[in-house]
Amino acid sequence: MQISPSLLSADFANLERELGAIANADWAHVDVMDNHFVPNLTLGLPVVERLVAVSPIPVDCHLMIDDPDRWAPGYAEAGARSVTFHVEAVRDAVGTARAIRSAGARAAFAVKPGTAFAPYADLLREVDMVLVMTVEPGFGGQSFMADQMAKVREVREAVRRAGGEIWVQVDGGVSASTIEQCAEAGADVFVAGSAVYGAESAAGAVEELRALAQQHGEQ
């Protein structure tokens, strides 16, 4: 059970300090948005390079951008240890996943709430993680979509059949009140932005979320 706090809810003027505040987490989730794939703009490669350099924990890059075929491998080369692209944006998913892996990172694909998983089941052999979005991508602080739990179950089942070690990540509205259902459905990597950085103690929120996930999940 791994916790990946999203820097989207952190203080963008103090990212090094904000990374230090979640040093007890498993990953630092960095949301890259290009104002095309989603209607929001965050940060790109030069900032990710610096985050990788100063982060006490590995960086988990979630690319909400058009043309990940072109850009995703660069994030792996920059040192992100996990790079996730969206199936709705990619043209050559297999080639992109392979390029991410050969640059030394874990590769993952993400599906938006309206995107079915089944057409992408064959991609499991090319990736290390599947991200099931539990909000529409673009913004932090949105309400959790419980109707995505059926998809999490479906992905977990497919991963079980495929064998190997493929993680199932959820992202969006994950908090102390919603993480249990995610863990029960089979998620094992939990992204949380506002629930971590909006808490009095970010590190305390990480511990609380991890404990809840462990109580309610299989691993």
**What region, left, alpha or beta, does residue 108 occupy, with left being phi > 0 and alpha being psi -120 to 50 degrees?**
beta
Is there a contact between 60 and 84 (Cβ–Cβ < 8 Å)? Answer: yes
Q: Which does 5 bind (CB under 5 to 8 A by kind): Zn ion, ligand DX5, none?
A: none
Cβ 198 to ligand DX5 shortest distance, Å: 8
202 binds ligand DX5 (CB under 6 A): no
Sole window of 2-10, 112-120, 150-158, 176-184 interacting with ligand DX5 (rule: CB under 6 A): 2-10
135 contact choice in Zn ion, ligand DX5, none (CB below 5 to 8 Å, kind-dependent)? ligand DX5
- Residue 191 is a binding residue for ligand DX5 (CB under 6 A): yes
Distance, in Å, from the CA atom of 7 to the CA atom of 19, rounded to the nearest integer, reads 8
φ and ψ at residue 13, rounded to 5 degrees: -85, -5
Q: Is 111 helix (H, G, I), strand (E, B) or coil?
A: strand
Residue nearer to ligand DX5 on the CB measure, 68 or 173 = 173
Compute the 3-state secondary structure of the chain and give helix, strand, coil in percent, each to the nearest 5: 40, 20, 40
Q: Which of 31, 34, 188, 208 binds Zn ion (CB under 5 A)?
A: 31
Find the angle CA(115)-CA(121)-CA(71) to the nearest 5 degrees: 70
Decide if residue 194 touches ligand DX5 (CB under 6 A). yes
Site for ligand DX5 in 22-41 (CB under 6 A): 29, 31
Q: Which residues are catalytic?
A: 31, 171
Spatial contact of 95 and 115, defined as CB atoms under 8 Å apart: no
Specify the stretch interacting with ligand DX5 by CB under 6 A; choose among 1-9, 44-52, 121-129, 207-215: 1-9
d(CA 144, CA 100): 29
Which residues of the chain form contacts with ligand DX5 (CB under 6 A)?
Answer: 6, 8-9, 29, 31, 62, 135, 137-142, 171-174, 191-195
Which residues of the chain form contacts with Zn ion (CB under 5 A)?
Answer: 31, 62, 171
